[in-house]
Amino acid sequence: MKFALVTVVLLSSIGLANAASVDKGQALVEKANCASCHGAGLNAPIMPAYPKLAGQYPDYIYYALKAYKEGNGNAIYGRNNAVMGSQVQAFNDADLQNIAAYVASLPGNFVIKK
Ligand code: HEC
């Protein structure tokens, strides 16, 4: 018991206890059925206006999701999109980090053309 407590304190002090979880993110994405718009593997959107997500940097995904949640509440920071705004309201900050980690872990086909 004492050992477990010390371990938890140590882990949180070096940040590991807060590390984003790909598995938790996957569960949230599957439950919310994000693929119904963003397509299989979040890499084959059903319409061109829907972005590919797979393999995107986790920081970018996280801040995009935060901005949809913020919506118009913050004109500088928010993204005002009715569709995505309604998708993210139920998620807390840790959920969004986990989702971002999962999205980033997926094989994508973003390319840099030269
Ligand atoms: C009903 C269709 C739909 C569903 C379901 C949906 N999305 Fe989206 N998503 C969109 C559309 C449309 C956009 C583009 C919105 C815009 O123009 O800002 C978008 C944009 C995004 C973006 C921004 C991408 C970028 O490159 O800026 C992220 C991240 C995202 N969605 C994640 C998710 C996640 C995670 C889920 C599941 C929780 C989800 N979406 C569910 C339609 C959907």
CA nearest to 25, candidates 82, 89, 93: 93
pLDDT in tens, 96-109: 999 999 999 999 98
Distance 72 CA to ligand 1 centre (A): 16
pLDDT in tens, 38-92: 999 999 999 999 999 999 999 999 999 999 999 988 888 899 999 999 999 999 9
Domain residue extents for the chain: 20-105
Which pLDDT value is given to residue 56? 95
The ligand 1 site (C-beta within 6 Å) comprises: 29, 32, 34, 36-38, 49-51, 53, 61, 64-65, 79, 81, 83-84, 87, 99
Above pLDDT 90, what percent of the chain?
72
8 A C-beta contact, residue 31 and residue 62: no
What fold does the segment set 20-105 form as a domain? Answer: Cytochrome Bc1 Complex; Chain D, domain 2 (1.10.760)
Q: Considering the entire predicted model, what is its pTM?
A: 0.86
In the chain, the amino acid numbered 58 is P
Flag whether pLDDT at 8 surpasses 60. Answer: no
